[in-house]
Chain A
């Protein structure tokens, strides 16, 4: 890899007009640390690989380089963050960055998504899909639970039939086996 090492990061894109909380972005250090650990895992994992016969490069080179650079970048990032580097969070159509992060909503959404993962194999998409829609809408502040449930179930059942009939992909029916 001849990627040049990234030069020292530009000093924090100092948000002048609206300075939020000053100081070190701890979350960013944690995330950088996670990336460093991931890089270390990639390197350590690669040490156990055998180099094939007549394979001058072998399966180890890429993990070594990628993991190594990831560790280095994470270290640079941690240093930069300690010196005051702050992220410029992504803006969007429905995003209002002046508000504080609402982790309650994100937590509820994450719980709904995880519940879907755990239940989809047992209950089937036609059921969990409906619950997913209603649950997500509720997490995001909708208070028309009955309507959302109805919409969700209709969407889920319709999508089940769409995949089954139009695309020929039978999704698992789960507990509705025999009904759908």
Chain B
């Protein structure tokens, strides 16, 4: 019940007219940027960071909550109306969603995505409200050794388990870790890896890295391969659903939510796996009644389930983010950078140090979610028009706002130069297939990890046992070993080509459907 009263307090903070206005602006801006083709949620959030610079922390976070959910929602609109999802999380939504749109049911596809997002987002946010505080309470008690182990686990999971190539995952991670080294050493204040540039003394701002990688890198990469033939865009009216659509949608929404939230909440998450599982589950369950589209022909279940899973997992990622300070998706990594940018130290103590702030944020997530539904159902035709924006101007605009964000932060041309450097890196990692998530995670967690390692070993005067003297640390190390070893053993035991990653399963599936 304490939770409810805290939430009530947060609601009161969030519902002041000013903060409500910021939430509205956040939702609109987030959707606006998220709908733009080529702009995924991570880029949307990174690009909109500077907008919140001048605000006080509470308003900034409230606006940010709106941007976060708005950006997520915007991405799914794009993938339904254009058949080329920009984000791995939207791949599954696009499969059936685009077929529905082509069959003249774009309005229903958008409606089930929007309402499903609302349902999943609301349940997911409630999940955050009930799970994050106890987890944080538990996490406050764990010491540096366990914290170090948990960070190590999330790095190993993100680099080795997600993604297609372990080598490239670890390359990304260590590039990020190296970037995180730059600056004055935390405890001895000696310059490290600064290339003799004094402007780097405070380290490289994660926001500049994120905007460089996500926005500038993406713009440069797209410029090199710009589609010259415009994509076919499906016109859409106001989203609505008939009775049958409702009947077919509500169960997939709930199932999708149930799949998405836990995957988002464990530090191995991401939305890729749960959206995929939801798609497969819905397809298995859909026996195809009379007069209903089958899967592959635009089944509404195939949009409702994955889209709910996507949003529930987005909410789920807030659990480790708020309770442990651990980001598990690219978007939440940018969120973490934003929180740091407001001068708040993320981590287990966040909820006890800044209870008002966190509860206002959680309350505004609920409010933002409702605003999203109210604003976006009528605005969908307007958003759909955005897909026609000419590409040269679109990417010029992205570069414009990215540069503005980097420059406005400290008003140093040097920061803009840094942005261009990370843009070049962003181009390179796209060209060479290196995943961006381990990289950004390395930048954020590297310095934190070093601090915890030194803390742990200082306490034990350098004795390595200082890393293993907590039971939680031992358990986490055991998990790391299992996660790394199990796939190796599995491939020995069952050397047949059992598809293990979503990509492989889907590929196999397509072949079966095709044959």
* 16 new A-B contacts at CB < 8 Å, known A96-B225, A139-B223, A140-B391: A1-B152, A3-B152, A3-B156, A55-B188, A63-B193, A66-B178, A73-B167, A91-B84, A93-B38, A93-B86, A101-B431, A105-B224, A109-B219, A110-B424, A120-B416, A137-B392
A104 CB to closest chain B CB (Å) equals 9
Measured as residues with beta carbon below 8 angstroms from the partner, the interface class of chain B is 35 or more
B400 touches A67 (CB 8 A): no
- Report chain A residues within 8 Å CB of B187: 52, 55, 59
Q: In the bound complex, what is the Cα–Cα distance between A169 and B391 (angstroms)?
A: 30
Determine the residue in chain B with the shortest Cβ distance to A113.
Answer: B420
Interchain CB contact (< 8 A) of B400 among A69, A152, A167 = A152
B411 touches A133 (CB 8 A): no
> What are 8 A-to-B residue pairs whose CB atoms are below 8 Å?
A10-B166, A62-B446, A93-B78, A93-B86, A120-B413, A137-B396, A140-B223, A156-B400
Interchain CB contact (< 8 A) of B404 among A31, A57, A159, A166 = A159
- Report chain A residues within 8 Å CB of B420: 110, 113-114, 117
Q: In the bound complex, what is the Cα–Cα distance between A49 and B194 (angstroms)?
A: 12
Q: In the bound complex, what is the Cα–Cα distance between A11 and B95 (angstroms)?
A: 29
Across chains A and B, which 5 residue pairs bring their CB atoms closest together, nearest first? A56-B462, A167-B54, A87-B433, A142-B392, A140-B392
A94 touches B413 (CB 8 A): no
Determine the residue in chain A with the shortest Cβ distance to B169.
Answer: A6
CB of B430 within 8 Å of the partner chain = yes
B457 touches A59 (CB 8 A): no
A56 touches B193 (CB 8 A): no
How would residues 34 to 71 of chain A score, 1 for a CB under 8 Å from any chain B CB and 0 otherwise? 01001101100110011110111111011100110110
- Report chain B residues within 8 Å CB of A139: 223, 392
- Report chain B residues within 8 Å CB of A51: 188
B223 touches A59 (CB 8 A): no
How would residues 210 to 246 of chain B score, 1 for a CB under 8 Å from any chain A CB and 0 otherwise? 0000001011111111111101000000000000000
CB of A14 within 8 Å of the partner chain = no
A170 CB to closest chain B CB (Å) equals 9
A111 CB to closest chain B CB (Å) equals 11
A106 touches B427 (CB 8 A): yes
Interchain CB contact (< 8 A) of A88 among B164, B169, B228, B416 = B164
**Chain B 141-199 interface residues, beta-carbon cutoff 8 Å to A:** 152, 155-156, 160, 164-171, 174-175, 177-178, 181, 185, 187-188, 190, 192-193
A105 touches B454 (CB 8 A): no
- Report chain A residues within 8 Å CB of B407: 120, 125, 171
Determine the residue in chain B with the shortest Cβ distance to A87.
Answer: B433
A85 CB to closest chain B CB (Å) equals 8
Q: In the bound complex, what is the Cα–Cα distance between A31 and B430 (angstroms)?
A: 12
A9 touches B167 (CB 8 A): yes
**Chain A 68-95 interface residues, beta-carbon cutoff 8 Å to B:** 69-70, 73-74, 76-77, 80, 87-95
Interchain CB contact (< 8 A) of B225 among A41, A99, A116, A125 = A99
How would residues 18 to 45 of chain A score, 1 for a CB under 8 Å from any chain B CB and 0 otherwise? 0000000001100100010011011001
**Chain B 122-153 interface residues, beta-carbon cutoff 8 Å to A:** 152
**Chain A 104-158 interface residues, beta-carbon cutoff 8 Å to B:** 105-106, 109-110, 112-114, 116-118, 120-121, 125, 129, 132-142, 148, 151-152, 155-156
With contact pairs A49-B185, A105-B226 given, residues A66 and B177 touching in the complex (Cβ less than 8 Å): yes
- Report chain B residues within 8 Å CB of A46: 192-193
CB of A178 within 8 Å of the partner chain = no
Q: In the bound complex, what is the Cα–Cα distance between A85 and B82 (angstroms)?
A: 32
A49 touches B174 (CB 8 A): no
Determine the residue in chain B with the shortest Cβ distance to A67.
Answer: B178
**Chain B 10-53 interface residues, beta-carbon cutoff 8 Å to A:** 37-38, 51, 53
- Report chain B residues within 8 Å CB of A101: 224-225, 431
B390 touches A142 (CB 8 A): yes
Q: In the bound complex, what is the Cα–Cα distance between A61 and B54 (angstroms)?
A: 38
Q: In the bound complex, what is the Cα–Cα distance between A81 and B446 (angstroms)?
A: 28
B396 touches A148 (CB 8 A): yes
CB of A97 within 8 Å of the partner chain = yes
B83 CB to closest chain A CB (Å) equals 9
Determine the residue in chain A with the shortest Cβ distance to B435.
Answer: A90
B440 CB to closest chain A CB (Å) equals 15
CB of A177 within 8 Å of the partner chain = no
- Report chain A residues within 8 Å CB of B55: 167
- Report chain B residues within 8 Å CB of A59: 185, 187-188, 190, 192
**Chain B 375-422 interface residues, beta-carbon cutoff 8 Å to A:** 390-393, 395-397, 399-400, 403-404, 407-408, 411, 413, 416-417, 420
B175 CB to closest chain A CB (Å) equals 7
B346 CB to closest chain A CB (Å) equals 20
Determine the residue in chain B with the shortest Cβ distance to A95.
Answer: B225
A95 touches B221 (CB 8 A): yes
Q: In the bound complex, what is the Cα–Cα distance between A79 and B111 (angstroms)?
A: 50
Determine the residue in chain A with the shortest Cβ distance to B222.
Answer: A94
Q: In the bound complex, what is the Cα–Cα distance between A125 and B169 (angstroms)?
A: 38
Q: In the bound complex, what is the Cα–Cα distance between A95 and B185 (angstroms)?
A: 40
Q: In the bound complex, what is the Cα–Cα distance between A109 and B222 (angstroms)?
A: 11
A3 CB to closest chain B CB (Å) equals 6
Determine the residue in chain B with the shortest Cβ distance to A134.
Answer: B396
B234 CB to closest chain A CB (Å) equals 14
B252 CB to closest chain A CB (Å) equals 25
A50 touches B400 (CB 8 A): no
A92 touches B38 (CB 8 A): yes
CB of B428 within 8 Å of the partner chain = yes
Determine the residue in chain B with the shortest Cβ distance to A41.
Answer: B193
B170 touches A140 (CB 8 A): no
